[in-house]
Structure 1
């Protein structure tokens, strides 16, 4: 097993009245190959990513992962956020968080409540984002279909890299070599049957005809599928 370095700290951004608490995991040696920002829902905090093993799993897979407590939650309870719950926060909020933490070309995992922060970030600061993983985020109705179609993540139009964290299996650090290039029901059946997660990168590039082609490579750790 790869050694993991776990740390905690706080970061101050101009959008908040008090510093934001964060937990960080990274490989104990060597350079991280990917930066991941873990957000949370209204009933959760960064501690959940620690308790279910996601921080450790990502670090063992060679990633630097940072889980923050959003304003008003967990150990960021005293921080007043830039927007009320259910309203869109400025896109610059998460941009500044990433800059202060040194998270470049970041993968953003955004469940539920955190959509009010992540969606403006994705819409306004796409060059800073390598991949966006929404998990039933709120505030999706506040953007038009045209705005969604215009999104470029990872620097390429209509090219998406999605980190798939399979529910109850979060924290399991095993390899799955049987994933197909496209996500299908059989992928999930295999995950349930073998009790594993995997790391898979799949790129989808539209052709002139409007059709798509895909290809990928496999690495150990968690799952990456195209969306």
Structure 2
């Protein structure tokens, strides 16, 4: 079904299906505009939280990862609206010249949140997606209800004062066995004034993939405290 969307000149109408759970409906579609972004979204049967979760992905992954791990379904069952994106050039999203600059990447996320009418957003940003999430955080952090960086890239592009200026509640997650990017990003992310840090034991760089149950428990605890 998803392959029908590839190469279409305009965004398709939203399509939905059930995943063997009457409480979980997954919607898929493309955002409007000249550089449409493919997304997956879950709408809970009974929405109990105003917070909405936006899930980005790392270099080897895409929005389908969050469906395979059960993250989208779990968030829906817990009463959260959640949206997973295919970043430009990944999954079903075409490459875009718009994202060749820091300002363009921040504007892309801003446009997506606006087009999908996401409010009170919590942005989950693993690895490569820090290339998008951090410019957005620096420019538009007032639009975020929370931030969950998971060993993101590009932290070295910002100084201590820039991180200090961000008051967004932040959950810094990383895998115990990630000795490179996790440690490098943690040095910078610790300058965020409103943060907590959780190390997931016996997990590598993609800690959410290696220990999904631990990851989900920590994420849900953070979200529940924001709601």
What TM-score does the superposition give when structure 1 sets the normalisation length?
0.67
Deviates more, 1:145-154 or 1:36-45: 145-154
Question: How far apart are residue 81 of structure 1 and its match?
Answer: 4.3
Alignment of 1:84-95 (within 5 A): 84=100, 88-90=102-104, 91-95=106-110
Structure 1 or 2: more helix by fraction: 2
How many residue pairs align between the two structures?
A: 175
Structure 1 unaligned residues grouped into runs of 5+ = 173-190, 203-218
CA shift in 2, pair 1:196/1:137, >3 Å: closer
Alignment of 1:1-227 (within 5 A): 3-13=23-33, 17-30=34-47, 32-76=49-93, 78-84=94-100, 88-90=102-104, 91-153=106-168, 158-160=193-195, 167=208, 168-170=210-212, 172=213, 197=217, 199-201=220-222
Deviations 1:22-81 (A, max 9, x none): 0001212345432000001111110111111110011111111100100111100x2414
Question: How far apart are residue 163 of structure 1 and its match?
Answer: 9.5
Question: How far apart are residue 197 of structure 1 and its match?
Answer: 2.3
**Local SS of the residue matching 1:197:** helix
**Local SS of the residue matching 2:221:** strand
Asked if the contact 1:69–1:75 (Cα under 8 Å) also holds between the matched residues in 2, the reply is: yes
Structure 2 unaligned residues grouped into runs of 5+ = 1-20, 170-191, 201-206
Cα separation, 2, equivalents of 1:120 and 1:103: 18
Asked if the contact 2:66–2:72 (Cα under 8 Å) also holds between the matched residues in 1, the reply is: yes
Question: How far apart are residue 201 of structure 1 and its match?
Answer: 4.4
Cα separation, 2, equivalents of 1:79 and 1:18: 8
Asked if the contact 1:88–1:139 (Cα under 8 Å) also holds between the matched residues in 2, the reply is: no
**Local SS of the residue matching 1:152:** coil
What TM-score does the superposition give when structure 2 sets the normalisation length?
0.67
Asked if the contact 2:56–2:87 (Cα under 8 Å) also holds between the matched residues in 1, the reply is: yes
Asked if the contact 1:22–1:67 (Cα under 8 Å) also holds between the matched residues in 2, the reply is: yes
Provide the aligned C-alpha RMSD in A.
Answer: 3.0
Deviations 1:114-164 (A, max 9, x none): 11110011111112101111111111111111101111215xx93347899
Larger C-alpha radius of gyration, 1 or 2?
1
**Local SS of the residue matching 2:217:** coil
Deviations 1:65-116 (A, max 9, x none): 100100111100x2414234xx635322211110111111100000111111
**Local SS of the residue matching 2:87:** coil
Asked if the contact 1:25–1:66 (Cα under 8 Å) also holds between the matched residues in 2, the reply is: yes
Asked if the contact 1:110–1:135 (Cα under 8 Å) also holds between the matched residues in 2, the reply is: yes
